[in-house]
Amino acid sequence: MMSKTNLKSLTFNELQEWIHSTGEKPFRASQIWSWLYQKNIVEFSGMTNIARSFQTHLHDHAFIYSLSPVKTTGSSATRTQKILWQLEDGLHIESVFIPDGHRRTFCISTQAGCAMGCGFCATAAMGFQRNLHVHEMTEQVLSMQRHLGIKPTNLVLMGMGEPFLNYDNVIRALTILNNAEGTAIGHRRITISTCGIVPAIERYTRENHPYKLAISLNATTDETRSSLMPVNRKYPLNTLLRAAEAYTRQSHKRITFEYVMIRNLNDTPEDARRLMRMLRGIPCKVNLIGYNATNPDFTRSDDKRIHAFAEAIAPLSAPVTLRLSKGDDIQAACGQLATKQESATELSPSA
């Protein structure tokens, strides 16, 4: 017996090819795409402008993958919401909705767990489980829309996992989500965050993808960064910064450097001066992020020290943002996403 085609694993061009293989007229691809990604339908019976006979054919030969939330945890302080999903093989991932004025950001995961071992990140403690499929990434966005009744203005790939270790699936998923006839999230509103996989950054630069790029930097010396982020032992700062500079030169886009501030580890005046020297000449933005508690060995820099650090690097002529943690009270802030299999048993109401 032939297996059914998962329509959400197909790009638009692949859907057109699949429709052609069924003998149907080409315009059916646009109809189905619209139902999947504009109207967010999860049943073929809901496709009201498609003949019943073709609906039956679709039901017999294809399926629409969907996720249902296992648990939703809401922050009363910031209206941030963290959503736990169960995948078909029983693994779990998390996504986060972050409201900020008119901005509605969806933060999605690209892997179940993570192999990078960053000392400040809760996902690292899970270890690596597997890469997410294309449909598991796109469906996080679509399911959040259905569940929350909200469409995103911005999308960040900053959830569980290292996006550039799932490179091909990530790019395919973003091609689908960026499609103007579907979910239509503009490429200027999509950001991929990497811990610094240099060959993938170089490939991304060569392929000239339009989405924004962020690098989790977090230190100004190889010794400190390697202690925090084992990836630095393979791709040290000089190598990483050369790749970042090449990206900005090729893309004509600023790159965002994310810098998690940990007291007495990477927040000293000397660190600020080194950061100035490192980033001078690279068109960039700098996000300073107060450490969100995941590891008892680390402590968040206090606000006075964070502001002093920001003032010290102000001469960079690069926008410096003090990112306010949203969702740290529900373990949904930067570096806090992690799942426990035994906790995925029931759906709790949104806050």
Domain residues of the chain, as ranges? 5-63, 69-343
CA 232 to chain centre: 21
Predicted confidence (pLDDT) at residue 344 exceeds the cutoff of 70: no
| More reliable by pLDDT, 350 or 139 | 139
Least confident of 126-135, 156-165, 312-321: 312-321
Q: Which CATH superfamily is domain 69-343 in?
A: Aldolase class I (3.20.20.70)
Distance from C-alpha of 104 to C-alpha of 84, rounded to nearest angstrom: 19
**Mean pLDDT within 88-103:** 93
Percent of the chain with pLDDT over 70: 91
How do residues 237-284 score in pLDDT, each as one tens digit? 999 999 999 999 999 999 999 999 999 999 999 999 999 999 999 999
Active-site annotation holds for 195: no
Q: What is the DSSP letter of 219?
A: -
Least confident of 11-25, 67-81, 278-292: 67-81
Could you say which of 94, 136, 139, 258 is catalytic? 94
Distance from C-alpha of 33 to C-alpha of 232, rounded to nearest angstrom: 42
> Average per-residue pLDDT in the chain?
90
**In the structure, what pLDDT confidence band is assigned to residue 351 with cuts at 50, 70 and 90?**
very low
Could you say which of 107, 118, 195, 334 is catalytic? 334
Fold for 5-63, please state it. Answer: DNA polymerase; domain 1 (1.10.150)
pLDDT at 2: 66
pTM: 0.90
pLDDT at 336: 43
Q: Which residues pair with 226 in a beta bridge?
A: none
pLDDT at 124: 83
**In the structure, what pLDDT confidence band is assigned to residue 329 with cuts at 50, 70 and 90?**
very low
Active-site annotation holds for 346: no
**308 burial class (0-12, 13-18, 19+ CB within 10 angstroms)?**
middle
Q: Which residues pair with 290 in a beta bridge?
A: 261
